[in-house]
């Protein structure tokens, strides 16, 4: 196979030695070209060029942001995407069941390529940009923005930086007095849409939402890459309410259910979030700025994915 290995040297877990070891491992049985990213958006251009030239697989050694860029470059083509964890959290790679060590993950990926373990999956989109596992609108995105402002600490502080940024954003960098936007959500089955105000919304293409170390935060466990989106909208910025929701996501494999301060909407085919005042949004942990409107959608079978052999891309469990 022809493989382009996209490597982000700035990612938390990527070292020069790791790049060399992984490139050699892939090149043992495949035609491999290494391409290193140098700026924001570079991975999309590399991946798009690779797909246009008929490359079979784009492997990505980097964090979720780099993986998102590459996914947007190969979506809608015959070129498959293979994630190799190189960031601080690696949500999508963990969700697929890949080992946390990038060299070990490469060995698992090579086994999958040997047996052509590649399948098509659905993706969510926000303002016509795809996301692999989630989009965050409002407070969630404001936290990501604060993390990125302290980017030089991300390699060393990791999850502690996210926790600190969440508390700091809640206390100093986010308006907790009035809802941020109005969300108009359409169900996949065509039933009447709902309209609700919120301080932040998470649109999930798969579950878990994220990880604290190796511990998953399960928000909507019935969400999988073969199902439409699940959308979680938070209506209260009470610290007690947010803490309770966080503990429920951390301690329970049943996720979060609609109730006081939160609305969970499964099987969403589209949604529109809008406000007269600009609000932040992020995709797969990559802050994309402030907007007055976000259009969410889900598209099935839009990208080919290398799936670890002997494992499965998470599918929703049978209803209880």
Question: Tens digit of pLDDT for each residue in 83-108?
Answer: 999 998 899 999 999 999 999 999 99
Q: Are 255 and 261 in contact (CB under 8 A)?
A: no
* Whether residue 265 sits in one domain with residue 166: yes
Give residue-wise pLDDT tens across range 4-17: 999 998 888 889 99
Residue 171 resides in a domain:
yes
**Do the Cβ atoms of 194 and 182 come closer than 8 Å?**
no
CATH code (residue 84): 3.40.50.10330
Residue 14 maps to a domain: yes
Same domain? 72 vs 139: no
The answer on 278 and 150 residing in a single domain is yes
Residue 312 forms part of a structural domain:
no
Distances from the Cα of 70 to the Cα of 67, 143, 236, angstroms = 5, 24, 35
Domain co-membership, 257 together with 140: yes
Query: Residue 317 has what pLDDT?
Result: 46
- pLDDT at site 51: 98
Residue 53: pLDDT band by 50, 70, 90 thresholds? very high
Could you tell me if residue 314 is inside a domain?
no
The whole-number pLDDT of residue 173 equals 84
Is 278 a residue whose pLDDT tops 60? yes
Instruction: Tell me the backbone φ, ψ of residue 251, rounded to 5 degrees.
Output: -100, -15
**What is the reported pLDDT for 316?**
46
**What is the pLDDT, as a whole number, of residue 303?**
98
Per-residue confidence band for 296, with pLDDT thresholds at 50, 70 and 90: very high
Do 266 and 138 lie in one domain? The reply is yes
Asked whether residue 125 carries a pLDDT value surpassing 50, the answer given is yes
Q: pLDDT grade, residue 163 (50/70/90)?
A: confident
CA distances from 217 to 1, 24, 109, 165, 280 (A): 36, 35, 25, 17, 22
40-54 mean pLDDT = 97
Are both 197 and 268 inside the same structural domain? yes
Q: Tell whether 315 is covered by a domain.
A: no
Higher pLDDT, 75 or 150: 75
Asked whether residue 122 is domain-assigned, the answer is: no
108 and 140 share one domain? no
pLDDT mean over 196-201: 93
CATH code: domain of residue 215: 2.60.200.40
Q: What is the span of the domain harbouring residue 33?
A: 2-116
Do 44 and 112 lie in a common domain?
yes
Domain end, chosen from 65, 83, 116, is at 116
Nearest to 127 by CA among 319, 281, 314: 281
Give the pLDDT score at 262. 92
Q: How confident is the model at residue 190 (pLDDT cuts 50, 70, 90)?
A: low
- What percent of the chain lies above the pLDDT cut of 70? 92
How much is the pLDDT for 44? 98
Is 124 within the bounds of a domain?
Answer: no
At residue 226, φ and ψ (nearest 5 deg) are -105, 5
Domain check: are 167 and 57 in the same one?
Answer: no
Is the same domain home to 87 and 157?
no
Give me the number of domains the chain comprises.
2
Handedness of CA 304, 51, 33, 41 (dihedral sign): negative
Query: Do 256 and 139 belong together in one domain?
Result: yes
**Residue 88: how many CA atoms within 13 Å on its side-chain side?**
20
The pLDDT of residue 71 is above 90: yes
Single residue among 89, 116, 143 that ends a domain in this structure: 116
What average pLDDT does range 207-224 have in this prediction?
89
- Residues belonging to the chain: 320
Please indicate, yes or no, if residue 215 is contained in any of the structural domains: yes
Which among 92, 116, 140 is the end of a domain? 116
Residue 165 has pLDDT above 90, yes or no: no
Is residue 148 located within the same domain as residue 293? yes
Model confidence at 319: pLDDT above 60? no
């Amino acid at each position: 196979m022809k493989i382009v290995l996209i490597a982000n040297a700035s990612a938390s877990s990527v070292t020069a030695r790791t790049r060399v070891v992984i490139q050699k491992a892939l090149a043992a049985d495949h035609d491999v070209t290494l391409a290193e990213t140098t700026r924001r958006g570079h991975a999309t251009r590399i991946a798009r060029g690779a797909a246009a030239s008929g490359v079979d697989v784009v492997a990505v050694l980097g964090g979720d942001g780099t993986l998102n860029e590459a996914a947007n470059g190969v979506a809608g083509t015959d070129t498959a995407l293979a994630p190799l964890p190189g960031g601080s959290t690696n949500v999508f790679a963990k969700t697929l069941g890949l080992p946390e060590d990038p060299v070990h993950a490469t060995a698992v990926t090579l086994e999958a390529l040997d047996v052509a373990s590649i399948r098509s999956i659905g993706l969510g989109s926000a303002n016509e940009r795809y996301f692999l596992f989630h989009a965050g609108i409002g407070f969630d995105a404001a936290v990501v923005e604060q993390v990125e402002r302290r980017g030089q600490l991300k390699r060393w502080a990791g999850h502690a930086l996210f926790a600190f940024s969440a508390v700091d954003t809640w206390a100093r960098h986010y308006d907790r007095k009035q809802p941020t936007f109005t969300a108009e959500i359409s169900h996949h089955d065509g039933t009447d849409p709902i309209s609700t105000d919120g301080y932040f919304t998470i649109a999930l293409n798969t579950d878990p939402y994220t990880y604290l170390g190796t511990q998953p935060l399960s928000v909507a466990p019935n969400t999988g890459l073969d199902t439409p989106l699940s959308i979680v909208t938070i209506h209260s910025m009470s610290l007690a309410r947010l803490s309770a929701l966080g503990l429920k996501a951390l301690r329970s494999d049943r996720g979060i259910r609609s109730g006081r301060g939160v609305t969970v909407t499964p099987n969403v085919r589209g949604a529109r979030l809008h406000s007269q005042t600009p609000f932040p949004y992020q995709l797969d942990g990559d802050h994309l700025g402030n907007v007055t409107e976000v259009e969410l959608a889900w598209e099935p079978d839009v990208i080919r994915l290398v799936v670890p052999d002997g494992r499965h891309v998470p599918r929703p469990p049978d209803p209880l």
